[in-house]
Amino acid sequence: MPYMLPTILKNLFTGYATRMYPVQVREPFENARGHVVFLDDKCTMCGVCALRCPSVAITTDKEKNELAFYPLRCIVCEVCVQACPSDAIELIYKWRPSLYDKPVELHKSTRLTHLRESADKAKEGVEKAKD
Amino acid sequence: MGLIQRSRVKSPWILHFDNSSCNGCDIEILACLTPLYDVERFGMVNMGNPKHADILLITGPVNRRTARVLKNLYEQVPDPKVVVSVGTCASTGGVFHNCYNVLGGVDKVIPVDVYVPGCSVRPEAIIDGVVMALQKLAKL
Amino acid sequence: MMIKQFLFVLLILVGAPIVGGLLFGIDRKITARMQGRYGPPFIQPFYDFFKLLGKEHIAVSRMQFVWIYGYLVFMIASLVFLVMKSDFLLLVFLLGFAGVCLVLGGFSTKSPYAHFGANRELMQILAYEPVLLLLAIAIYAQNGSFLISEIFRQDKPLLFTLWPLFLAVLYVLTIKMRKSPFDISTCHHGHQEIVKGVTTEYSGPYFALYHLAEWYEIILLLGIISLFWTNPLWVGILIALAAFLLELFIDNITARMTVGWMVRLSWSVGLILGIINIAYIYYTKGVS
Amino acid sequence: MADQMMAIAVLLPVAAGFLVLAVRNYYARNVIVIATAIVLIANSILLALRGPFTYTPSGFDWGLLITILDYAILIFYLYVGITLRNWLVLIFALTQILPLAYFEFIMKAHVEVAPAFVVDHLALVMTMVISIIGSLICIFALRYMYDHEHHAGIEKSRQSRFLFWLVLFLGAMNGLVFANNLVWLYFFWEVTTLCSFQLISHDRTKEAIHNAARAVWMNSTGGTAFILAIIYLYATQGGSSALSMQSIIGGGIQSSIAVLPIALLCYTGFTKAAQMPFQSWLLGAMVAPTPVSALLHSSTMVKAGVYLVLRLAPVYAGTYLSVIIAIAGAFTFFAASALAVSQSTGKRVLAYSTIANLGLIIACAGINTPLSIAAAILLIIFHAISKGLLFLCAGTIEHQIWSRDIEDMEGLAAKAPLTTLITGVGILSMFLPPFGMLLGKWIALEAAYMVPLAAIFFVLASTLTIVFWTKWLGRLLQVLPKIERPFEKLSLSYSVPLWTLLIGIFVVGMGIGPIYQNFLRAATNDVVSGNQIIALGLNNLILITPSFMQREILGLFPVWPLYLILIVALLLPLMLIGVKPKELRPVYMCGEQTGGTDTDEWLAEADRKTKFQLGGFYYQGTLGEKRVNPWANAIAILLLVIMLGCGVIAI
């Protein structure tokens, strides 16, 4: 038992190891599994992420151009990040803040909107050309 | 804010209950007690007993067997009390959501006040979650 | 004279929990520092106390509240006995009753954990009570009276003749403060092997009463230790504070031991110290 | 007037006993017993108010009658020994008959001791204890024996026989404490042994008869020592003064000669008070119906042994014998307390506790200062009240749950709150402040300064006492969360003695100041200073009042504040704190309890509903009888040998 004595004496007189969290925040590590964000301007609503997600945190509806993300279901496994063909999902190293309720993040892909608009324009152009 | 309200915020005693977690979040809760994070700075003490607790920290998805235990424990915590579901699994069932014996998140059984997302949660996130819970507790 | 004494007792009764609570705060802070942590604020015990007061009343049986009140009142009564410089032996008996109240509080529920704690608390009483009673007898042998006022009247501090019993009383202090290696029936740290031992079934305001009683208890124990040097009293108080700090060190360098180990150690070392001490007093003073 | 009161105290129980034996009607018998009880109680109080006196019966050769009855009893023992083929009983009956015959026929010692009866303050205290508590126990026995036989399904009632011996016992005890003539004292001594034999063997089971025989032979060794002491005293001193108790304790004989007979008489007291190593007869007596145990333990039988040792205190004061008696008593206190921790039968715990407390009283007598004698007398009174109450409680509990096992009493507070309340107070009164037993212990510890070894035994034993009482009370209190607990109804025959004794604990405890002043101080002086009555005459009795006793007992033990603390600590919360149904929660069972507060089930493996099972700890491995008894008995026998050796060496 007394062999603990030097340790506690050292601790007592050399200060504490505590990081005073709210005041003193350490930056997250590289590649820490913080949380994922969706880049609407890159997403093509292809649905690969939704297919690969093990915990059904993502659902996509290409018709409505709607990607629903349930943050509280996400296990930050990074599968979606790796699976996304257009690099539209990014891993952020900082953790996601706590929540009072269970929100759903709804995403509309701006890229798909653009694509659709341009497709529509093209269609229009073709139809005009037909006319 | 009265003396008792103020004391409530300053002295949150925790009951940690593990439903059927992979123990990732449990390790992180225990990490909060280590010298590095030392939640005792905020008066947080990890109690082994629901009768002394103010805050329930619940990890892991609820399964058919732990649902009963969770409900029993919740009823034994004297008011005012808040429930923090720690981690994705506790919040919604996470990756276990369609296991044959898993009911889902903690809120299927008892009302949850604060959800802390993450898999597993970081100790800082747990501290944040408890602080949010305390803000709710102060208004009770 | 009466009024003055009454006011003094009242002052002690009001002051004791404040000082006791602060001592527990210091205890937690220093313990944290020894473990390399930052630790809670000094007034943390008071936060805990007022929070518990504001909690819902929940009960397991009616009797357990009676016993926790008994614990508190008998603890206060023993402190009053100390402050009024009354009979030391009776003080020890009252302290014993306080312990019995706590045990019965644990027994009066049908809770396995409270029962375990109560049985262990009983063994703790078995471990510390003989030492305190021997101290009383040794004081009688030394001064010819159980009266605490008689101790104050002596010029020569008790510590000179009673130092073996002083060591034994330090042992008792470890048990009564529920410090390692004797945090057996219940302890101040949150999570332990028998949940919360004898206090498992107390909650809310009644648990606050238990804390209040503990604050009185620490003052009482330190008061008993300071009896070893009463002229001047401040030396005794310093000795008591040093003993308190020593307990913190003991707490942090030892691990919890078993009940049997505690009783055996107490009945061997504690009693032998006591017997040697009394024998020594008899040798020097002779039977009257 | 005195002789009538005297006759009532000694002979009325005998007459009432024969009347009870003759009457076969249950109700008529009850009336007789209750009337006798009331007369005895009133008589003892009147005697106490009247103060000390002496009395010599005349007009009839009482001595001859007593001699004849002596032989009758001893021949009955011979008969018992032969029919049971119990050689120990036979041998020790012979060892009494032969010396007695030698004394009567060869020494021709038909001594007339005057006065034959001396009623001093100690005797008055004793007779009050015997008459009041003993009578209450007799009242209790009325209903108890009815239930007892009813439960056992006994066709032919033997209650009247039981009550005969029970009531006779009180008369014998009264005679014992009054007697001044040692031969008469010996006769009463034998009557109590006979009564205890009949009462212990009352149930006629094999075990009961065996244990009763053991009680007889152990007490017969004491009886033998008694006769030897009488012969020795008569041979060395000669004359009638040799056999007068008053002249012995008053220093009428040379103390150097007196040591051996005194040691023998103390040995006799030890056997009757069931001190180690004679504890087994008292434990064996537990097979008897509970009123018998109550009577044996609280007011009669064992108190006779203590009375004798206490009475002889001034003779051996200042000798090594005194120190040995103190140590032997203290050792019994310690060893019996340790053994009580390991017992799970309620009555055996009570029995060990009795042995322990008697050890304490004997140790107080051995310490032999005025203070310790006062402590001994206080302890006799308080022990009689508390232990009487506890035995009656044990009987009541036994007739409610039909078990004597502490484990079966688990949660009695839920089934029988009233009995539990009374038992609880009884238990607390045995070892906690402010009750009388603790007052006695407090004084004893103060007095124990003279014999440090005894003091250390006291310290250890009083701590062990806390353990076994608390353990037992804890078992009673263990209940499930519930609000409504209606009090159970007790038969009057049960409740009157219980409540009387309960109130007695408080009245005597709180009123100890005046009681001590008016009554016990005189008794202490009677013991300490030997024969005052003869020396100073009856009316101008000058009491030595050592000022330190008055100061220390009444000045420092704050009786009233302590009762106040007790009321504030326990009684007020008990009355004021209520619990609403919605505040009730089940106990913590790791969340595995099956639900509500009214069930004690939890879900074990495979979701099987299982009841909680909580047992007491009895520490059989460290404190069990098998382990402790050989050591304890060896040490106790060694102490006895030293005690008698002191006597032999002193010659």
CATH code for the domain in which residue A61 is found: 3.30.70.3270
Structure confidence at residue C62 as a pLDDT band (50, 70, 90):
confident
SS3 content of chain C, % helix, strand, coil (to 5): 75, 0, 25
Residues 20 to 59 of A: which have CB under 8 A from any C CB? 20
Better pLDDT: C144 or D377: D377
Q: Is the pLDDT of residue D545 over 60?
A: no
CA separation for the pair C228, C225 (Å, rounded): 6
Instruction: Quote the mean pLDDT of chain D.
Output: 82
Nearest to A19 among B37, B122, B131 (CB): B37
Q: Which residues contact C34 (CB under 8 A, 6 or more apart)?
A: A8, A11, A12, C248, C249, C252
Distance, CA of D502 to chain centre: 17
CA distance C108 to chain D (A): 4
Best mutation target, A98, A100, A104, A105, to test chain B (most B CBs within 10 A): A98
Chain D positions touching B17 (Cβ under 8 A) are: 591
First to last CA, chain B: 11
Ranges B3-17, C66-80, D99-113, D283-297: which has the least confidence: D99-113
Contact at 8 Å (CB) between D328 and D636? yes
Chain B positions touching A98 (Cβ under 8 A) are: 114-117, 125, 128-129, 132
Contact at 8 Å (CB) between D367 and D398? no
Widest distance between CA atoms in chain B: 48
Contact at 8 Å (CB) between C254 and C180? yes
pLDDT the model gives residue B84: 92
Contact at 8 Å (CB) between C162 and C135? yes
Indicate the burial class of A101 (C-beta count within 10 angstroms; 0-12, 13-18, 19 or more): exposed
pLDDT the model gives residue B140: 74
CA separation for the pair D96, D85 (Å, rounded): 18
**Residue at A7 is within a domain:** no
Better pLDDT: D270 or D559: D270
Q: Is the pLDDT of residue C8 over 80?
A: yes
**Residue at A62 is within a domain:** yes
HSE-CB of C263 using CA atoms within 13 angstroms: 16
Q: Is the pLDDT of residue D549 over 50?
A: no
Give the Cβ contact number of residue D186 at 10 Å.
Answer: 23
Search chain B and give the residue with CA nearest C55: B79
Ranges C146-150, D300-304, D379-383, D538-542: which has the least confidence: D538-542
CA separation for the pair D255, D243 (Å, rounded): 15
Range of the domain at C156: 2-285
- Name the range with the highest mean pLDDT among C164-173, D105-114, D429-438: C164-173
Q: Is the pLDDT of residue D63 over 90?
A: no
CA separation for the pair D544, D532 (Å, rounded): 10
CA distance B11 to chain A (A): 17
Contact at 8 Å (CB) between C251 and C142? no
Best mutation target, B52, B75, B140, to test chain C (most C CBs within 10 A): B52
Indicate the burial class of D240 (C-beta count within 10 angstroms; 0-12, 13-18, 19 or more): middle
Q: Is the pLDDT of residue D212 over 50?
A: yes
Q: Which contacts of D349-352 are long-range, i.e. CB under 8 A and separated by 24 or more positions?
A: D349/D406, D349/D468, D349/D472, D350/D293, D350/D297, D350/D387, D350/D390, D350/D391, D350/D394, D351/D279, D351/D282, D351/D283, D351/D285, D351/D286, D351/D293, D351/D297, D352/D279, D352/D283, D352/D468
3-state secondary structure of A99: strand
Contact at 8 Å (CB) between D162 and D199? yes
Nearest to D445 among C58, C69, C89 (CB): C89
Structure confidence at residue D524 as a pLDDT band (50, 70, 90):
confident
Indicate the burial class of D1 (C-beta count within 10 angstroms; 0-12, 13-18, 19 or more): exposed
Chain A positions touching B36 (Cβ under 8 A) are: 17-19
Nearest to B35 among C35, C48, C50 (CB): C35
Domain count, chain A: 1
Nearest to A18 among C34, C37, C255 (CB): C37
Q: Is the pLDDT of residue C54 over 90?
A: no
pLDDT the model gives residue C243: 93
Say if the Cβ atoms of B3 and C192 lie within 8 Å: no
Q: Which chains touch C (3 or more CB pairs under 8 A)?
A: A, B, D
Give start and end residues of each alpha helix (H) in D23-86. 26-50, 62-84
Nearest to B35 among C36, C54, C58 (CB): C36
Mean pLDDT, rounded, for D120-131: 87
Structure confidence at residue D650 as a pLDDT band (50, 70, 90):
low
Nearest to D209 by CA among D217, D200, D221, D222: D200
Distance set, CA D189 to CA D173, D199, D224, D413 (Å)? 8, 16, 11, 41
Better pLDDT: A3 or D546: A3
Nearest to C73 among D470, D565, D586 (CB): D565
Mean pLDDT, rounded, for A15-19: 85
Q: 């981690």: which residue's tokens?
A: B87
Nearest to D150 by CA among D163, D162, D159, D140: D159
Residues 411 to 470 of D: which have CB under 8 A from any C CB? 411, 413, 432-433, 438, 442, 445-446, 448-450, 452, 455-456, 458-460, 462-464, 466-467, 470
pLDDT the model gives residue C20: 93
Chain C positions touching D480 (Cβ under 8 A) are: 61, 110
Residues 111 to 130 of A: which have CB under 8 A from any B CB? none
CA separation for the pair C98, D442 (Å, rounded): 17
Q: What's the DSSP call for residue B36?
A: T
CA separation for the pair C105, C69 (Å, rounded): 10
3-state secondary structure of D487: coil
Structure confidence at residue D535 as a pLDDT band (50, 70, 90):
very low
pLDDT digits (tens, 9 = 90+) for C235-278: 999 999 999 999 999 888 888 888 888 888 888 888 888 888 88
The domain made up of B3-139 has a fold known as: Rossmann fold (3.40.50)
Search chain D and give the residue with CA nearest C204: D583
Range of the domain at A78: 27-114
Q: Per the structure block, which two tokens stand in for D292?
A: 């018998």
CA separation for the pair D423, D41 (Å, rounded): 24
CA separation for the pair B73, B91 (Å, rounded): 18
Mean pLDDT, rounded, for D411-440: 85
Mean pLDDT, rounded, for C74-97: 88
Beta strand B62-63 pairing with B102-104: antiparallel
Say if the Cβ atoms of C37 and B8 lie within 8 Å: no
Chain B positions touching A72 (Cβ under 8 A) are: 88, 91-92, 105, 115, 117
HSE-CB of D273 using CA atoms within 13 angstroms: 33
**Residue at A128 is within a domain:** no
pLDDT the model gives residue D484: 67
Structure confidence at residue D255 as a pLDDT band (50, 70, 90):
low
Mean pLDDT, rounded, for A2-7: 85
pLDDT digits (tens, 9 = 90+) for A18-73: 888 888 888 888 888 888 888 888 888 888 888 998 888 899 888 888 889 998 88
**Residue at A44 is within a domain:** yes
pLDDT the model gives residue D109: 59
Q: Per the structure block, which two tokens stand in for B114?
A: 């604060």
CA separation for the pair B47, B55 (Å, rounded): 10
Mean pLDDT, rounded, for D331-337: 92
CA distance C48 to chain D (A): 21
